[in-house]
Structure 1
Amino acid sequence: MAVIKPFDAVRPRGDVAHRVAALPYDVYNRQEALEEVEKEPLSFLSIDRAETQFPMDVNPYDQKVYEKARNSLRTMINKGVFIKEGQSCYYIYELTMNGRSQTGLVGCAAIDDYLQDVIKKHEKTREDKEIDRINHVDICDAQTGPIFLAYRSQKAINEAVKATKNNTPLYDFTAPDGVRHQVWKIDEPNTINTIYHEFKKVESVYIADGHHRTASAVKVGLKRRSEHPSYTGEEEFNFFLSVLFPHDQLMILDYNRVVKDLNGQSKEEFLQKTAKSFIVEEIGEEPYKPMEKGTFGMYLEGVWYKLTAKEEICSVDPVDGLDVALLQNHLLTPVLDIKDIRTDKRIDFVGGIRGLKELEKRANSDMKLAFAMFPTSIDELFNVSDAGLLMPPKSTWFEPKLRSGLFIHELS
């Protein structure tokens, strides 16, 4: 059963929270991160991406970069930009985008739940990306980016969250991208007790976004355990910062694909081979957005097509039945010879937040072909995780993104 505990947070003062809050560290390349920090010196990217404080020829993974992150965090605490709560609390974090809200609970999940598969994964991690965050967390002695977790909605937790939202929020601001962020504090002992024990009844929690941050937090915790062999399990390094959302409030957007070429084939040859596994319908110049599972939009040479997976390639397998797997197994690999989308330079990915016009733009410039996907559902994510399987890369795109810097979990 899930252990989600309250924690003594470090968080920004109310009057500067909107300036501190930043999109996740991995949303930006180095130049983009630098530009954000130059625009807003209080941006948490100055800590999450501390290489922004050095010349461009400094290796972003140099030891001194992580030490700069630690020192910057301590300086901002000492100057009062960040305050220490002084007591263990939960928080409610609500994000509203385009009139639609999702409300999560901020707390700390247990690394033992991750190790024992109470917290379930659906994505493979890369060691190099883990090492970066391991160093960042370990040297800063704090977790600075929350993990995006999901759970099957529970009435008692929903009611506790709803009641707390009647209080005045700690933070209420709209970011430059139009997303509204509201935060409330839960410090009432009975409410804390209710939430803690209701989560103990939850059988499984799922990583929605943040597999690398989770794996890194767990490895730092295990490292600290080895350094403190008399640990009790209650130390802060045994837990990691998380925001947990009920499944029925989450929206997964499409994660679309663009391809460099037709693998040496003519348009006619390509369409003929595609038609072996998919029903191909020409739509015209109007962008086609798939509206149901098993359908795909395809853009080629100024024309949109609707692809519908033929019955014989559909599958009830949790992974093989995913639309991203159908496209991979029956078109990208056999027709276009793209076998490993993690490493093949002929394919790129476009988050659904950017729209179909971005697919047209890419296919008309640096790429040749675009595929618009029907979004993976949260139930499909749960099914894959419950089966102990992994999704193909780039299967899910979550919006809106959690901001970093609003909550910091110190490890000692």
Structure 2
Amino acid sequence: MAKIIPFKAVRPTRDKVSLVTSRSYDEYSPAELASQLDFNPFSFLHVLNPAYVNQQKIGLEKRFKLVAQKYNDFKEEVVLIKEEKPVFFIYEIQTKNQNFTGIIAGTSIEDYQNNVIKRHEDTLQYRVELFKDYLHRTGFNTEPVLITYPDNPELTAWISDKKQTDSLYEFSTTKREKHILWKIEAENEMAWLQEKFKEIGNLYIADGHHRSASAELLYEEDKASGNENLNYFMSFLIAESNVKIYEYNRIIRDLNGLSKEAFLNKLSESFWLKNKEQELWKPTKKFEFGMYLDGEFYSLTLKDEHSFTSVLESLDAQILYEKVLNPILGIEDLRNDERIDYIPGKQSIVTIKEVVDEGEFELGFMLFPTDISEIKELADNNLIMPPKSTYIDPKFRSGLVVYEL
């Protein structure tokens, strides 16, 4: 039984929403970032990077203080406004290839602790503590946790009906995406929505494991304060069939001292190899892998697909690690080994070819995307995916909706 709550959101004024909201800070190239910060005084990037104007190099404590100050400046200047009462939102992102629609709500720390909200990724403690400190010192969060719920016909129909009503916002971005936000404030509708989620049962974190872990840590440290906002964290709840899961492809700097022939021979012990030459080939099903080496593409098909005893063992990312990356290429730590890097499957495999052809990396591996059923089975069995196994859409706009602590 999952608990969701409405909250008194802070959001941009209607006339400035397209100017305020931004992509995630690290998605901008240096040139794009400079342009936004130099020429758009309303961009939420000014809140996220308040030291930009003076090109200051400052410590974290001072930076967090400046973030909070700039955030309050936006409120005082009425760039951002606060809802008078708790509300839910429906949020739709229309891209060239797919539309994503979900519900923005507060989700329960207690549910997270009791495994009603389930997770499938490990977290790095230093990142959890860093974001916890950020939340504590700034007093707000604008990056919701992306959470999936099992498809529910009644919810789907209700959301579809609400999308026929007048929206709060409707705007486009330079990435040719359209964003639409509806506010749900009628008491009977909010109560109905909460009851529907109580019936759903388990929720699954798709993206945002560090953010949810940071919210829990902040709750544990500050719960004696009596601040009820700490009992929840902002989430974007979306039907599991509506998320788009991409793979994370791997690029490797060297062959661990092996010749090309020796490396291919070792691969052939576990995989059927086929040289695709110049064909831009990538996997079309599970247990298939693509490889780019020495100017040519290869298909690798696992020889034994029936020797696994758990969903973790049968994950393509885990198979690649157990069969190739660790025993052949000598890569043990997927997070920290400098010999490996990652490219989201959202990018063309031409990117992998270009990176390898430039010479900094010697080979690349292409994987088939993980299925949502695999993610849920991992979470249900308290298993953890290998690092960089999934890249999941949709991505939320910073500054669109803010949850204050």
- TM normalised by structure 1 equals 0.94
Moved more, 364-373 or 41-50: 41-50
Q: Please say if 1:398 is aligned against 2:392.
A: yes
1: distance between equivalents of 2:64 and 2:154?
41
Note the 1:268-279 alignment, pairs <5 A: 268-279=261-272
Conserved 8 A contact 1:50-1:66: no
1:201 partner SS? helix
Note the 1:28-39 alignment, pairs <5 A: 33=33, 36-39=36-39
Match of 2:201 among 191, 196, 203: 203
1: distance between equivalents of 2:29 and 2:199?
41
Conserved 8 A contact 1:313-1:326: no
2: distance between equivalents of 1:273 and 1:50?
52
The offset of 1:47, in angstroms, is 2.1
Q: Name the amino acid aligned to 1:338.
A: I
Measured against aligned partners, the alpha-carbon deviations of 1:331-377 in whole angstroms (never above 9, x if no partner) come to 11111111111111000000112210111111112211011110011
* Gap change, CA 1:50 and 1:222, over 3 Å in 2: farther
Q: Please say if 1:385 is aligned against 2:383.
A: no
Q: Could you say which residue in structure 2 is the equivalent of 1:146?
A: 144
1: distance between equivalents of 2:138 and 2:185?
26
1:131 partner SS? helix
* Gap change, CA 1:90 and 1:387, over 3 Å in 2: same
1: distance between equivalents of 2:400 and 2:57?
30
Q: Could you say which residue in structure 1 is the equivalent of 2:312?
A: 319
Conserved 8 A contact 2:148-2:203: yes
Q: Name the amino acid aligned to 1:236.
A: N
1: distance between equivalents of 2:291 and 2:35?
35
* Gap change, CA 1:49 and 1:142, over 3 Å in 2: same
Measured against aligned partners, the alpha-carbon deviations of 1:109-153 in whole angstroms (never above 9, x if no partner) come to 011111111111111111221222112211121222111111111
Q: Could you say which residue in structure 2 is the equivalent of 1:215?
A: 213
Q: Please say if 1:20 is aligned against 2:55.
A: no
Note the 1:28-67 alignment, pairs <5 A: 33=33, 36-59=36-59, 62-67=60-65
Gaps of 5+ in 1: none
Measured against aligned partners, the alpha-carbon deviations of 1:50-76 in whole angstroms (never above 9, x if no partner) come to 4435535324xx211101111111110
2:237 partner SS? strand
2: distance between equivalents of 1:121 and 1:53?
39
Match of 2:285 among 277, 285, 292: 292
Q: Could you say which residue in structure 2 is the equivalent of 1:372?
A: 366
Q: Could you say which residue in structure 2 is the equivalent of 1:5?
A: 5
Q: Please say if 1:265 is aligned against 2:258.
A: yes
Moved more, 245-254 or 124-133: 124-133
Q: Could you say which residue in structure 2 is the equivalent of 1:305?
A: 298
2: distance between equivalents of 1:271 and 1:222?
51
Q: Name the amino acid aligned to 1:407.
A: V
The offset of 1:26, in angstroms, is 4.7
Q: Could you say which residue in structure 2 is the equivalent of 1:408?
A: 402
Gaps of 5+ in 2: none
* Gap change, CA 1:53 and 1:65, over 3 Å in 2: farther
2:308 partner SS? coil
2: distance between equivalents of 1:210 and 1:33?
23
Measured against aligned partners, the alpha-carbon deviations of 1:254-309 in whole angstroms (never above 9, x if no partner) come to 21110001111111111110011111111111211211011111001110001111
Q: Could you say which residue in structure 1 is the equivalent of 2:159?
A: 161
2: distance between equivalents of 1:114 and 1:400?
22
Q: Could you say which residue in structure 2 is the equivalent of 1:123?
A: 121
2:238 partner SS? strand
Q: Could you say which residue in structure 1 is the equivalent of 2:352?
A: 359
Measured against aligned partners, the alpha-carbon deviations of 1:74-93 in whole angstroms (never above 9, x if no partner) come to 11011111111112111011
Could you say what the CA RMSD is over the residues aligned between the two structures, in angstroms?
1.8
2:321 partner SS? helix
Q: Could you say which residue in structure 2 is the equivalent of 1:256?
A: 249
Q: Could you say which residue in structure 2 is the equivalent of 1:106?
A: 104
The offset of 1:161, in angstroms, is 1.1
Note the 1:75-86 alignment, pairs <5 A: 75-86=73-84
Q: Name the amino acid aligned to 1:325.
A: Q
2:236 partner SS? strand
Q: Could you say which residue in structure 1 is the equivalent of 2:92?
A: 94
* Gap change, CA 1:122 and 1:34, over 3 Å in 2: farther
Conserved 8 A contact 2:243-2:394: no
* Count of paired positions: 404
Q: Please say if 1:72 is aligned against 2:66.
A: no
